[in-house]
Amino acid sequence: MPFPKRLHQFTKEHADAVAALACGLFLFCGWFALHLGFLGWALLLLPIAYVIGGYESAREGLTTLIKEKELDVDLLMIVAALGAAGLGLWRREYYLIIDGAILILIFAISGALEGYAMQRTERSIRSLMSLTQDTARVVRRGNEEVIPIKQLQVGDEIIVKPGELIPTDAVILEGYSTLNQAAITGESLPVEKTVGDEVFAGSLNGYGALKLKLYQPPESSLIQRVIRLVQQAQTETPPSQQFIERFERGYARVIVIAGVLLLILPPFLWNWDWETAIYRALTFLVVASPCALMAAIMPTLLSGIANGARQGILFKNGAQLEMIGKVRAIAFDKTGTITTGLLEVCEVIPTSEYTKDDVLKAAVAVESRSEHPLGLAIVKAAKNLDWQAATEVQAFPGQGIVGIINNQEVIAGKDDFVKKYVANLPKNLIEIATNLELQGKTVVWIAEKRWGDGEKERWGERFHPTIPLPQHQVLGIIAIADTVRSQAAETISRLKKLGIEQIVMLTGDNQQTAESVAQELGVDRVYAELLPEDKLHVIRRLQQEYKTVAMVGDGINDAPALAQASVGIAMGTAGSDVALETADIVLMADRLEKIEVAIRLGKRTQAIVKQNITIALGFIILLLIGNFLGEINLPIGVVGHEGSTVLVTLSGLRLLKN
């Protein structure tokens, strides 16, 4: 790139810093000329410093005054600087022009530093954007083509080579690899992915080449939804900042009125000379301006949002970052939130004549022909066994399933269904099954009937009294349940230690299952057999009791409660689109322990905002007292005012650290 072009780009990217540097240079030259007695040169150079350093502030201040009919702190700074220059020319005390120029210089430097500080927050947020690919490598008509992401269509097959970013959400058709999903879900360890698994745009592929199939438009991908929500969070102003902005507009008027009174009254009340009164009034305009107060909130909230996004916690706006720190009660949906939402075999209990593998092999032989969720759980549990699929399979909806394997009739189903084939179920298994069902688990009984050579066909011809009737035997039972998330109990315990007063579980499941899960986790209250509107009513009752209530859910049926709650938290990976759109906070990795992280981040945000407001008000009060007592001049007032502004901005950026 040619030097002139590089210079233009540099000055464009660092315009505030360049303006402050040029202002400082002309100020120094003007001061040096005045020191040497070259008044003409000084009066030429110093106005240039005023124009370069104060142009942007004057433009913004006048725009606000003309368009919004409101006074702006930028305009107050310019008025104070010009007032000092005018007073210096009037009294021929030209050092006052230097004071005004110093005011503008420090204001310009402060603006540049604040700009760099805010850019650091924005860079953290914009890093999400860098995770999106512009192009994807697709297979069309047997050839690989590189096309823009926006041209992808549902059904396209995408090739991702080792070390490349996943271009859009898709399902793996071929290949095996480990993916680094840290930028999307906040998970620090790579995740193994193989055929049938879903992958997310922005994940970094490991050592294996993958062929993916696109199942939804690229704009619906998780990372695109995250980017849209983060952009929305940046533009929305939380209630606390709205209050500060309303306060600032009224406060600016008060400053102007108080400045006029300070200009007029002291010469009559305390015999100040007019020059002193004017100088003190101008200094008052500087030190009383609420710049630090204005910077006390938004940098902090934006830093908190960026911190959360880095850890897989997506705050849709700053208001929810503030609100999460005030939560007193949390309601959890059960299925898919406290539990994984996926049925798994948790126990296999054989009779004394058989082994666990015998039970699973018999069960999977018939259940492999079924699409029922219980059957899918059994197939998953038997994936490492060598088994053979049954034939002549017949399913009895809501009851069980029957099939033939190696001349054996295998029955799997409820106890009442199996009783039709087995005269007496083992008493010890009945007792175990009853206890398992009390724990909220579903019990599948497995039995078989052995046939000798030709016996099945001859029994099919009916009456053959000379052939003994084969006996059905119970092989064992299989307990299946929607397993509780491994981190659920620890999360609930830590939330209570954090000061959450009430942990509630809401579910559409039966009371017995809900009570079993709640007892295991240490949940305070359980509301079972709820419809979506029932969950909404429970949240309203909790809000009457605890004011600030969070709701954690993942499904469409949780959407009304998520919307009603003070803070709605959705599980990002497992959550439905409706839940994600309705919620205020999204946990990208479906990790419940991130709720504690979010609450701690909210509390820390509140603490830093309060500290910043205290610092800002403290500086204003001290500077006002010093000005009234005549202990500070205009440059010192500017240093104190702008220093406090930079200080609270940098204080807010502390949240960028984990």
Tell me the catalytic residues: 333
3-state SS of 567-615? EEEEECCCCCHHHHHHCCEEECCCCCHHHHHHHHHHHHHHHHHHHHHHH
Burial class (CB in 10 A: 0-12, 13-18, 19+), 384: exposed
The closest alpha carbon to 258, from 232, 286, 300, belongs to: 286
Angle at 29 between CA 23 and CA 31, to 5 degrees: 100
- Please, which contacts does 624-631 make with residues 24 or more away whose CB atoms are closer than 8 Å? 624/284, 624/287, 624/288, 626/287, 627/280, 627/283, 627/284, 627/287, 628/280, 630/276, 630/280
> Which strands make up the sheet holding 198-199, listed edge to edge?
143-148, 135-140, 157-160, 210-213, 170-174, 198-199
Q: Give residue 60's Cα distance to chain centre.
A: 34
Closest Cα partner for 263 from 94, 87, 90, 92? 87
Closest CA to 592 of 525, 493, 512, 511: 493
> What does the alpha-carbon distance between residue 144 and residue 132 come to, in Å, rounded to a whole number?
20
H/E run at residue 473: strand 472-484
Q: What is the 3-state secondary structure (H, E, C) of 30-91?
A: HHHHHHCCCHHHHHHHHHHHHHHHHHHHHHHHHHHHHHHCCCCHHHHHHHHHHHHHHHHHHH
CB hemisphere CA count around 642 (13 angstroms): 22
Q: Which of 440, 219, 473, 253 is nearest to 350 (CA)?
A: 473
Rounded to 10 deg, the angle between the 593-628 and 634-652 helix axes is: 170
3-state secondary structure of 173: strand
Contact 609, 655 (CB under 8 A): no
For β-strands 170-174 and 198-199, DSSP reports them as antiparallel
Token digits for 116? Answer: 């760099």
Name the 3-class secondary structure at 429: helix
